[in-house]
């Protein structure tokens, strides 16, 4: 299959097809997918063959956005406490020098969380939402400041904008180069693009997401934006844990794109895939423990539960919006409600898992929360 970024022939990752997968809305998905790396530009990707296209269609046809918390946006836990992803993105973006009145478009606006946050913080801006489906049209138009909602693909979008948001969109797009070039034409001179995507280097579970066809690194995201006519203003990892971000503006003069090299991607992906299989095997060994809990109520928790054939008694989530609800038919508990004789598996990337387990084990004085093997 040709690389989605540079059209060079890609190479497949051998261990991937045997792993069960998960959808971006946290439902288990059968094994049998393909993962590939481009030997020329090193981009990690899913070959977009007819099987991928059919699966993506099936996933989107029954998509359930944020069903774990009754529709409220997923919280990101940082040292400064729990905050919705939109607020973290805006904290940073709104600290940049921006005109007083901007026209801002959110592509893939979903339930409108980002538009709502923008509306509260910049009530004078003209806001626009775009999404594939039309189901949320009235909900989006009801947000203060929203002038228009575009449904369908991006060719349906009319007008010019000062800021275009792409939060967790680009990893779903099978032709990212054409997509970004089309968006670039919708920007006013000096206009800006704000991108958030998952970061598999911090979170190997992202590679398992069946409907994500692109898996970015800092260099591959920057290289793509460069090639599509953008200059990077700021970006990297660390704004939201396990995610990459980039703010980019249209390049003014016809400068040639910046060359960004990258090594060892193949070895890193192989290691990540091996680690996922080890984490699953570790969970299988913990299967007889009772009462058994799983930390989290999203992609990694679903995948570990189903891939290891676990029947947990409960899930644990620090997000108050999720506590008291059910997940995969089991109750979601606050960490403080966990009984000391329990075992709770923490399916998070190494490093993050240790921090969470250390903190949550403290009141018990013993290891109740267990971490997967090291990478």
**Does residue 6 interact with Zn ion by CB under 5 A?**
yes
If one asks whether residue 5 binds Zn ion (CB under 5 A), the answer comes out as: yes
Q: Which of the residues 43 through 82 are near Zn ion (CB under 5 A)?
A: 43
- The count of chain residues that interact with Zn ion, using the rule CB under 5 A, is 8
Closest of 316, 366, 356, 359 to residue 338, by C-alpha = 316
Report the nearest approach of Zn ion to the CB of residue 38 (Å): 3
Question: In this complex, which beta carbon is closest to Zn ion, that of residue 175 or of residue 290?
Answer: 175
Q: Which residues contact 251 (CB under 8 A, 6 or more apart)?
A: 229, 230, 231
Considering only the stretches 42-50, 105-113, 196-204, 268-276, report the one whose residues sit in contact with Zn ion under the rule CB under 5 A: 42-50
Q: Is 177 in the site for Zn ion (CB under 5 A)?
A: no
By the rule CB under 5 A, 213 interacts with Zn ion? no
- Least separation in angstroms between CB 36 and Zn ion: 10
What's the rounded Cα separation, in Å, for the pair 350 and 354? 6
Closest to 180 (Cα-Cα) out of 260, 118, 251, 89 = 251
Dihedral angle, C-alpha 8, 260, 94, 321, nearest 10 °: 60
Query: Quick check: 299 and 26 in contact, CB under 8 A?
Result: yes
Min dist CB 40 to Zn ion, Å, is 5
Q: How far is C-alpha 349 from the geometric centre of its chain's CA atoms?
A: 14
Question: Which residue in 41, 166, 265, 356 binds Zn ion (CB under 5 A)?
Answer: 41
Task: End-to-end CA distance of the chain: give it in Å, rounded.
Answer: 29
- Does position 320 bind Zn ion by CB under 5 A? no
Please pick, from the candidates 13, 22, 36, 38, the single residue that binds Zn ion as defined by CB under 5 A.
38
Nearer to Zn ion, 260 or 325 (CB): 260
| Residue 8 touches Zn ion, criterion: CB under 5 A | yes
**98 is a contact residue toward Zn ion (CB under 5 A):** no
Is 36 a binding residue for Zn ion by CB under 5 A? The answer is: no
Q: Least CB distance from residue 88 to Zn ion, whole Å?
A: 30
Distances (CA, A) of 248 to 19, 127, 224, 229, 290: 35, 19, 11, 9, 50
Residue 40 tokens, joined: 């020329």
Longest dimension (CA), the chain: 65
Give the nearest distance from C-beta 185 to Zn ion in angstroms: 24
Which range in 35-43, 260-268, 291-299, 345-353 contacts Zn ion by CB under 5 A?
35-43
> Between 38 and 207, whose beta carbon lies closer to Zn ion?
38
- Neighbour-count burial of 329, counting CB atoms closer than 10 A to its CB (0-12 exposed, 13-18 middle, 19+ buried): exposed
Residue matched to tokens 């644990």: 316
- Angle made by CA atoms 207, 208, 213, in degrees to the nearest 5: 60
Binding residues for Zn ion, per CB under 5 A?
3, 5-6, 8, 38, 40-41, 43
């Amino acid at each position: 299959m040709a690389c989605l970024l540079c059209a060079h022939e890609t190479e497949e990752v051998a261990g991937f097809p045997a792993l069960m997968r998960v959808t971006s809305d946290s439902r288990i998905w059968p094994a049998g997918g393909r993962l590939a790396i481009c030997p020329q530009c090193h981009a990690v990707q899913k070959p977009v063959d007819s099987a991928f296209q059919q699966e993506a269609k099936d996933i989107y046809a029954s998509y359930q956005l944020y069903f774990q918390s009754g529709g409220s946006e997923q919280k990101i836990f940082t040292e400064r406490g729990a905050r919705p992803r939109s607020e973290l993105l805006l904290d940073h973006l709104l600290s940049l020098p921006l005109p007083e009145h901007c026209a801002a478009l959110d592509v893939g606006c979903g339930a409108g969380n980002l538009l709502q946050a923008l509306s509260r913080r910049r009530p004078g801006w003209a806001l626009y939402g775009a999404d594939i489906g039309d189901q949320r049209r009235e909900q989006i138009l009801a947000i203060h400041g929203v002038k228009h909602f575009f449904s369908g693909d991006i060719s349906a979008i009319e007008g010019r904008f000062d800021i275009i948001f792409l939060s967790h969109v680009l990893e779903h797009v099978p032709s990212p180069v054409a997509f970004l070039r089309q968006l670039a034409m919708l920007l006013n001179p000096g206009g800006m693009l704000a991108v958030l995507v998952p970061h598999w280097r911090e979170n190997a579970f992202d590679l398992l997401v069946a409907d994500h066809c692109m898996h970015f690194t800092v260099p591959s995201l920057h290289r793509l934006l460069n090639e599509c006519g953008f200059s990077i203003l700021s970006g990297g990892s660390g704004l939201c844990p396990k995610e990459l971000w980039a703010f980019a503006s249209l390049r003014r003069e016809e400068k040639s794109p910046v060359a960004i090299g990258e090594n060892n991607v193949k070895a890193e992906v192989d290691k990540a895939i091996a680690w996922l299989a080890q984490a699953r095997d570790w969970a299988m060994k913990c299967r007889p423990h009772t009462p058994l809990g799983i930390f989290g109520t999203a992609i990694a928790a679903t995948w570990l539960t189903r891939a290891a054939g676990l029947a947990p008694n409960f899930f644990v989530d620090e997000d108050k919006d999720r506590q008291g609800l059910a997940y995969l038919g089991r109750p979601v508990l606050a960490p403080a409600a966990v009984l000391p004789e329990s075992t709770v598996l923490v399916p998070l990337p190494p490093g993050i898992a240790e921090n969470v387990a250390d903190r949550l084990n403290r009141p018990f004085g013993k290891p109740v929360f267990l971490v997967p093997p090291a990478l």
